[in-house]
Amino acid sequence: MSDVEIRDLHKCFGKLEVLRGIDFTVESGQVVCVIGPSGSGKSTLLRCVNLLERPTSGKVLVDGVELTDPDVDIDAARRRVGMVFQQFNLFPHLTALRNVTIAQERVLRRGRAEAESVARTELARVGLADKADAYPAQLSGGQQQRVAIARALAMNPALMLFDEPTSALDPELVGDVLTVMRQLAEEGMTMLVVTHEMAFAREVADRVVFMDGGTIVEEGPPGQVIGAPRHERTRTFLRRVLNPTHVDTDGAR
């Protein structure tokens, strides 16, 4: 069974149609990377998957539950989905450990001792066992993002969503976060990742989805979509991403 099924998904903000009929699935244990230019609808797609944005029409099913069903217990369904944002969204007045325990206690109703045990396990999983008592201001951006990943993992999600998780990081810190994500992929975590990190998409993804203008232009194995794209729009995008100093002289968009 697919962990994620997206069927004819549309999202409008007023007269602006941001998603225009998105259809695809993510199978259990797969990593699907979504690439594309800014404004193509990638982040909106992720936010519709866990209903941070309510789709205008279409269906989203996660782990067999239709989140877009008006009668669904959205809080219960959303617990199956972990999300990591571009910004870390940590509570600045709480330690790393407390940032990872608070949702467990309030949402999953775990006791303090159990929540702390899970939090320490997940902080160790992302390489931060020695930072449990540190506050966000005492951590680098990469470390803060790894705390955010630990926080999401502590909720035992069936699916992890990543919305450009390295875009706010200094270049030298990107590798630590991608290493954690690569480890999660190797462990069989189902992941839907919006990213501009083409090397990560090429090496880790089972499938790559290229979006532009609110539609899926092309999807397939990374060797095809990134290595030998079929559509000119995909080729133009990849030329600009992989060769940022290249200047198109043919006027191609």
In a domain, 162, yes or no: yes
In a domain, 65, yes or no: yes
**Average pLDDT score over the chain:** 92
Q: How many domains does the chain contain in total? A: 1
In a domain, 247, yes or no: no
Confidence check: pLDDT of 193 > 90: yes
How far apart are the C-alpha atoms of 133 and 150, rounded to whole Å? Answer: 14
In a domain, 20, yes or no: yes
Residues facing 66 on adjacent strands: 61
In a domain, 123, yes or no: no
Handedness of CA 224, 226, 228, 231 (dihedral sign): positive
In a domain, 185, yes or no: yes
Selection from 47, 82, 91 nearest residue 152 by Cα:
82
pLDDT tens for residues 53-104? 999 999 999 888 888 998 888 888 888 899 999 888 999 999 999 999 999 9
Q: What is the CATH number of the domain that holds 216?
A: 3.40.50.300
Predicted local distance difference test score (pLDDT) of residue 163: 95
- Residue 55 lies in domain: 2-71+80-91+157-242
In a domain, 86, yes or no: yes
In a domain, 43, yes or no: yes
pLDDT tens for residues 172-182? 889 999 999 99
pTM check: above 0.85: yes
How far apart are the C-alpha atoms of 248 and 151, rounded to whole Å? Answer: 43
